[in-house]
Amino acid sequence: MAADVAWRLAKSLAIQQTICDKRPEQLKMDFALWNRPAVHQHIKLMHNIKLSIRAVGNYLARWGFTPQKSIKKAYEQRPEAVQTWLGLAWLGLAWLGLA
């Protein structure tokens, strides 16, 4: 029983370490980022453990990996530069007769 717990802990730590240290593409996987399907495939192929996608999500949450939404707003906005660029683009289009 204790050996089984130790084995599970070792596998768990190995999977977490891989997620932290590697990107899926470095492991020749067809994923850009770690998501539930990517982790599911990694666990299945590298550790020969079959889990449901839901179970993978539960493990990720337990390990502290939470899904994040991308931020739509740029951190360093420069409205003056945008207005200048738009003015120049408009002039270029007008010069070409496309405005």
Q: What is the pLDDT of residue 2?
A: 82
- Residue 58: which pLDDT band, with cuts at 50, 70 and 90? very high
pLDDT in tens, 23-57: 999 999 999 999 999 999 999 999 999 999 999 99
Q: Record the pTM.
A: 0.66
Q: What is the pLDDT of residue 4?
A: 84
Comparison of pLDDT for 53 and 2, the residue scoring more: 53
Length in residues, the chain: 99
With a cut of 80, say whether residue 68 has pLDDT above it. no
Report whether 16 contacts 63 (CB < 8 A). yes
Cα 41–Cα 42–Cα 45 angle in degrees, nearest 5:
80
Report whether 40 contacts 24 (CB < 8 A). no
The full set of domain ranges for the chain reads 2-62
- Residue 11: which pLDDT band, with cuts at 50, 70 and 90? very high
